[in-house]
Amino acid sequence: MRLENSQWSAQSPDWRRSTVSNHANTKGQKTSGMKILFIQGGFGAGGAEKVMADVAAHRLAQGDEVDVAAMVMPKEGSFFDYPAGVRLHVLDAPNRKPGGRLLQPRRAFAIRRLIKKVQPDIIVSFLTKVNCLTLLAATGTGIPVVISERNNPAVQSARFWRRLQIALMPRAAGIAMQTEGAASDLPPAQQARSHIIPNPCLPVAYTPAPPSDTCRFVAVGRLDHQKGFDMLLDAFARLPRELPANLTIFGEGKARPRLEKQIRDLKLEGRARLGGLVPTAADWLSKGDAVVVSSRYEGFCNVVAEATCSGFPTISFDCPFGPSEMVRDGKNGLLVANGDIVGLGAAMTWVASDRALRERLGKSAHIVADKLDPAHIMSQWDTIIAEAMTVPQTAESFASS
């Protein structure tokens, strides 16, 4: 990868691009050898960042010229590796104080300057705020923009940005959503043209936990309100004391002190604990017999994907969005009404007391593995990019920009 300076002089002011005339394609025709600009919030760790790195590497391998931009870069560099041929751009000016009223307008202008410099054939942006800034910055260029929503915007995005994204969506040449549930939250016209592209996931190779008479539940995620570990502890406290079961919650976050106090208040010491961070999915899969997902909401839920792809019994709240599209109730896991603590406790009791059920639920990895196979997911990205190249765009001069 090459990291390039985000500051540059303006290019010739009359450059513009009519994507349809320059890159006309019929639907289904392979589109490669293009210039693609990907834009995201940062180069740190995260599900969206991982998927963008995967798609960028895939398109480079297809013969495209690939640039990836983000507002910020960690001091230690990009968390995810990029191939040597991918150029990376940092949009926020170095040493500038974070925040301020003009931060987002500055970022929009930085995106527009980058578009001028790179002159891509197509732009792909991830996340609500970045989608808005990119659509505004690309206005009048004639360059198609594919936007991808990676969160649950109803609860994870500020109302202003959510409304702005909805208002700007008609300008997008393509819309990628991770789940059917998230797509159903769009206005009807945008829902009809959206593509459902989940996160790619391969079955995880892991060493199963040694046999035990105790059912070992695990949970994984940031220790915060969204992940609902407070509800999980309340549900676990409902299990009969004589039932051999324990619970380990892997992760770190601001809620750790509150959860530790809750464990003490519920007198769960010795049965429930906070296990800290684990580096890979194989680490938590190898320490339990079933995973419990107690999230209040999700954008997709990678934990459910990793578990169901790997044949690991899963109990999950039917929260918006994601779990219900991977957990087939009674086949590869159990779905519980969102927020139903009593129901979650009952499901955990059933799984803990029935070894045969756990074994049966663990034999259904095929239900989800094919759907989330990386090769299949990359082909879906190829399709939306190819289709976006056929959407008519309006090209205007940059002379006044």
Summarised one tens digit per residue, pLDDT across range 132-190 is: 999 999 999 999 999 999 877 677 667 899 999 999 999 999 999 999 999 998 999 99
Q: Which residue has the higher pLDDT, 157 or 207?
A: 207
Residue 394, pLDDT score: 64
Instruction: State the angle between helix axes of 159-168 and 128-137 in degrees (0 to 180), rounded to the nearest 10.
Output: 40
CATH 3.40.50.2000 in the chain is located at 2-200+375-388, 215-372
Q: How confident is the model at residue 19 (pLDDT cuts 50, 70, 90)?
A: very low
Short-list 68, 62, 5, 16, CA closest to 37: 68
- Tell me what pLDDT residue 208 has: 96
Instruction: Tell which CATH classification among 3.20.20.105, 3.40.50.2000, 3.40.190.10, 3.40.50.620 matches the domain 215-372.
Output: 3.40.50.2000
Three-state DSSP at 115 gives: helix
Q: Does the structure show a pLDDT above 80 at 293? A: yes
pLDDT in tens, 25-84: 434 444 568 999 999 999 998 889 999 999 999 999 999 999 999 999 999 999 999 999
Distant-in-sequence, close-in-space partners of 398: CB < 8 Å, separation ≥ 6: 13, 14, 15, 16, 116, 140, 141
Contact 372, 200 (CB under 8 A): yes
Largest Cα–Cα distance in the chain? 77
Give 4's pLDDT tier (boundaries 50, 70, 90): low
Confidence class of residue 15 from pLDDT cuts 50, 70 and 90?
A: very low
Query: Regarding the domain with residue range 2-200+375-388, which homologous superfamily does it belong to in the CATH classification?
Result: Glycogen Phosphorylase B; (3.40.50.2000)
Mean pLDDT of 311-328: 96
Is pTM beyond 0.75? Reply is yes
Task: Indicate whether 23 pLDDT > 70.
Answer: no
Residue 152: its pLDDT value, please? 79
CB 223 within 8 A of CB 249: yes
Residue 306's nearest CA partner among 267, 331, 333 is 333
Give the per-residue pLDDT at 301. 92
Q: How far is CA 287 from CA 30, 188, 191, 233, 327, in A?
A: 44, 44, 40, 18, 21
Per DSSP, the chain holds a count of helices (H) and strands (E) of 16, 14
pLDDT, tens only, 355-380:
999 999 999 888 999 999 999 999 99
| Residue 400, pLDDT above cutoff 90 | no
For residue 37, the model assigns a pLDDT of: 98
The mean per-residue pLDDT over the stretch 19-24 comes to 37
**pLDDT tier at 98, thresholds 50, 70, 90:** low
The whole-chain average pLDDT of the chain stands at 89
